[in-house]
Amino acid sequence: MSAELSAAAEEADSLRKTLNDHSYRYYVSDAPSIPDSEYDRLFCRLQEIEKNFPSLLVQESPTQRVGDIPLSHFEEVKHEVPMLSLGNAFDLEELGEFEKSIQKQLGDESPVSFTCEPKLDGLAVSLLYENGKLVRAATRGDGHTGENITSNVRTIFSVPLQLMGDNIPQKLEVRGEVILPLKGFAQLNQKQEEKGVKVFANPRNAAAGSLRQLDPRIAAERPLDIYCYAIGWMEGEPLPLTHGEVLAYLKSLGLKVNPEAAQVKGADAVAEYCRNMAEKRAKLAYEIDGVVVKVDSLALQEELGFVTRAPRWAIAYKFPAEEALTQLLGVDFQVGRTGAITPVARLKPVSVGGVTVSNATLHNLDEIKRLDVRINDFVVVCRAGDVIPKVQRVMMEQRPDNAEQIRHPEHCPVCKSELEYIEGEVIVRCDAGLACQAQLKEAIKHFVSRRALDIEGMGSKLVDQLVDEGLVTNVAELYQLQVEQLAKLERMGPKSAQNVKDALDKSKQSTLQRFLYGLGIREVGDATALSLARNFASLEKIQAADEEQLMAVEDIGPIVAQHIHHFFQQEENLKVIHALLDAGLQWEAVAVAEQASESQVAGKTFVLTGTLSRFTRQEAKAKLQEQGAKVSGSVSKKTDYLVAGEEAGSKLSKAQALGVIVIDEQQLEGLLA
Ligand code: IVH
């Protein structure tokens, strides 16, 4: 090495150390020690050296955070140790039960030592360090397989590209949550608004959306942050003895850990931590949705082990649904697929747990009566997780003088046809059927949806345009659409138009169940559609069946039978069905019901809970039903099996209490095989 090069190498090395150190102080410890201008000066100097001596450039240099080459896709990453999920506790009493179950399993009644930490509302990631260098970052995915998002995670300043300290392990897979702090979230949404593009509903979506960008320059513009909370696995250094020590060790390596984490003893102390954290929540710079409680001793963690996908040694206490007070500005009436008119409250925008809410459901006209809500009233709105916000109650004592009765609409708000109010019926419907554009749009959206004909790329906005432009007046006409027509629509181009056309062609090869479900017959969900398909085996026979024959099918009662029969009596519906068949829609012969009884699951009752990773819940349900099993929504003594996916909650505890057999997805696959 020339003298010049070695001097440059030495300077570059020292600059990197200094810059990393300052970065750590700024982004991890939140205690900057030099002005930004000085940091920038050192940074430029390092860039200059690396430019003059490209052989000195290394991946972990602070100049190399943001790559400039977008990826074509994210590669898959298999997690060597699965990334687990957590069971939930929805009230503080459940924390006592949690401790008791641990004591029982350990055969030791003494209070358990726990570490409590905020449950961050972000995205779980895994960071892999080899000899102190960040070599890979991945999403959690389904817990077994995630996506390689290294180029995006490298842009997060609080993620060290190089670990610090004297005890750097040869290998370390560390886990944590990537979040977008509230300030960054507000700034990002302001920018989105200025650009006229979609704003994010909450910081978690924004963080997830940022990490899913193929171009790392986009993630780099978003002030993402991380808190590390676990070691997946480690080589070359001894594992600490407690979770508290794990956090301290991670911190000593320069990783960011949450300063709110605390060790406490016994369930009462845990509950107190949770209450305090609920109070502190609004003051935190980021969103949290609860507290994660972990048994502190790693040896006890190991002894306690896992159930399905969640550890027995940890639980997530979820804060109760959030509420906020605001004013009702008006009520809009929306028309659903079956013509049902739903009142939607227009609210003075209010932040409910960090999400701005300006609409909330009022369910139906009876609900308006029940709440006795009037326009201009002050109302309490609540939202729990991703659930649609709802109007919870009215502040009667604050009713203003200008409070106005909500008038029931006399006409359909979309097609203007007259509405008929039937005595004793909660739901008011527009009877215009597919002549009402609102119902037509919803019918098409239902037809193309995942569980029906599953036409990819046929999103809600596209369907709205197709109907508004008069290009489609029934579902069969979807198949007559030309690529050129589609390409002319907003947000479409030749390529996406061709994709939609291809998806439409692909959907022609379907199943009788999907077809029946897609028709949108009232009260015919996918389970009923399957029963119909399995019992009659052909569309013709279903069409020809009278109500009595329909009622012979398990799960079909008089009302559903009437709806089905009525549907197939309508000239208009038969025309559309013919047109669909003419367009080439077809399906394979249906496996007849009798065959199903040979399956191990036939006649058994299953309940599915939690998030499944190998199939969607609908798929699992369909597979079970195909083989003659019953799938129920709630656990009871009659339940034969509970299939518990990730984040299984109260159903799992109930099943355990009732002695119901609990299986995981793999076991389910075995039963279905
Ligand atoms: S520990 C086995 N700690 O919650 C332990 N998770 O419901 C697994 N989360 O996927 C995780 N804050 O994304 C842990 N302080 C924290 C957390 C946390 C948020 C998330 C994480 C996980 C989910 C489980």
**Phi and psi at residue 567, to the nearest 5°:** -55, -45
Catalytic residue among 100, 119, 251, 604: 119
Instruction: Give pLDDT, residue 354.
Output: 64
Q: What is the largest CA-CA distance in the chain?
A: 96
In a domain, 78, yes or no: no
Instruction: Give pLDDT, residue 597.
Output: 52
Dist CA 319 CA 92 (whole Å): 10
Say if residue 567 is in the same domain as residue 493: no
Domain boundary among 558, 587, 616: 587
Cβ–ligand 1 distance for 296 under 6 Å, the answer no
Task: Give the tokens for residue 179.
Answer: 């979040």
Dist CA 344 CA 234 (whole Å): 53
Cβ–ligand 1 distance for 507 under 6 Å, the answer no
Sequence-separated (6 or more) residues with CB below 8 Å from residue 367? 343
482: CATH: 1.10.150.20
Mutate to test the pocket of ligand 1, among 81, 83, 120, 318 (most ligand atoms within 8 A of CB): 120
Dist CA 123 CA 205 (whole Å): 9
- The three-class DSSP label of residue 345 is strand
Dist CA 623 CA 320 (whole Å): 35
Atom index in ligand 1 nearest the CA of residue 119 equals 12
Ligand 1 centroid, distance to 553 Cα (angstroms): 45
Helix/strand/coil (H/E/C) assignment for every residue in 564-578: HHHHHHCHHHHHHHH
50: CATH: 1.10.287.610
DSSP 588-623: PPPPPHHHHTTSTTTT-EEEEESB-SSS-HHHHHHH
Instruction: Give pLDDT, residue 463.
Output: 96
Atom index in ligand 1 nearest the CA of residue 310 equals 2
366: CATH: 2.40.50.140
Ligand 1 centroid, distance to 258 Cα (angstroms): 12
* Host domain of residue 162: 87-318
Mutate to test the pocket of ligand 1, among 88, 90, 287, 292 (most ligand atoms within 8 A of CB): 292
Ligand 1 centroid, distance to 99 Cα (angstroms): 19
Instruction: Give pLDDT, residue 353.
Output: 65
Atom index in ligand 1 nearest the CA of residue 117 equals 15
Tokens 């002005």 belong to which residue? 35
Q: Are 171 and 234 in contact (CB under 8 A)?
A: yes
Say if residue 552 is in the same domain as residue 629: no
Task: Give the tokens for residue 398.
Answer: 């604050």
In a domain, 76, yes or no: no
Say if residue 396 is in the same domain as residue 461: no
Examine the residue annotation and report whether 119 is marked as an active-site residue of this protein: yes
Sequence-separated (6 or more) residues with CB below 8 Å from residue 248? 240
Say if residue 176 is in the same domain as residue 94: yes
How many angstroms separate the first and last alpha carbons of the chain? 64
Say if residue 37 is in the same domain as residue 96: no
Instruction: Give pLDDT, residue 310.
Output: 87
Cβ–ligand 1 distance for 120 under 6 Å, the answer yes
In a domain, 607, yes or no: yes
Cβ–ligand 1 distance for 231 under 6 Å, the answer no
Ligand 1 centroid, distance to 110 Cα (angstroms): 26
Cβ–ligand 1 distance for 313 under 6 Å, the answer no
Cβ–ligand 1 distance for 225 under 6 Å, the answer no
614: CATH: 3.40.50.10190
* Strand-pair category, 390-394 with 509-510: unpaired
Instruction: Give pLDDT, residue 421.
Output: 87
Say if residue 297 is in the same domain as residue 362: no
In a domain, 644, yes or no: yes
Nearest 5°: the CA angle 321, 325, 329 is: 120
Ligand 1 centroid, distance to 579 Cα (angstroms): 51
DSSP 183-238: HHHHHHHHHHHHHT-PPPSSHHHHHHHHHT-SSHHHHHTS--EEEEEEEEEEESSP
Say if residue 220 is in the same domain as residue 348: no
Cβ–ligand 1 distance for 116 under 6 Å, the answer no
Say if residue 383 is in the same domain as residue 449: no
Cβ–ligand 1 distance for 292 under 6 Å, the answer yes
Tokens 């907003």 belong to which residue? 490
Instruction: Give pLDDT, residue 50.
Output: 93
In a domain, 143, yes or no: yes
Sequence-separated (6 or more) residues with CB below 8 Å from residue 30? none
- Closest Cα to atom 17 of ligand 1: 119
Tell the burial category of 617 from Cβ atoms under 10 Å away from its Cβ (0-12, 13-18, 19+): middle
- Go through 572-583 and write b for each residue having 16 or more CB atoms within 10 A of its CB, e for each that does not: ebeebbebbeeb
Cβ–ligand 1 distance for 311 under 6 Å, the answer yes
Residues in the chain: 673
In a domain, 132, yes or no: yes
The mean pLDDT values, 10 residues at a time, for the chain of 673 residues are 90 94 90 88 94 91 88 90 90 93 94 97 96 96 92 96 95 97 91 81 89 92 96 95 97 97 96 94 90 97 87 92 90 93 94 82 88 95 74 93 94 93 85 92 95 92 95 96 94 92 95 94 88 90 94 88 94 94 89 58 87 81 84 86 83 82 84 81
Instruction: Give pLDDT, residue 595.
Output: 47
Tell the burial category of 151 from Cβ atoms under 10 Å away from its Cβ (0-12, 13-18, 19+): buried
Say if residue 460 is in the same domain as residue 399: no
Mutate to test the pocket of ligand 1, among 86, 117, 139, 318 (most ligand atoms within 8 A of CB): 86
Domain boundary among 548, 567, 587: 587
The total number of structural domains that make up the chain: 6
Say if residue 573 is in the same domain as residue 600: no
In a domain, 428, yes or no: no
- Go through 416-432 and write b for each residue having 16 or more CB atoms within 10 A of its CB, e for each that does not: eeebeeeeeeeebbbeb
Cβ–ligand 1 distance for 432 under 6 Å, the answer no
Say if residue 465 is in the same domain as residue 356: no
Strand partners, 137: 127
Provide Rg for the chain, Cα atoms. 29
Instruction: Give pLDDT, residue 507.
Output: 96
Tokens 């150190």 belong to which residue? 21
Cβ–ligand 1 distance for 316 under 6 Å, the answer yes
- Closest Cα to atom 23 of ligand 1: 85
Atom index in ligand 1 nearest the CA of residue 118 equals 15
Say if residue 186 is in the same domain as residue 105: yes
In a domain, 157, yes or no: yes
Domain boundary among 490, 507, 524: 507
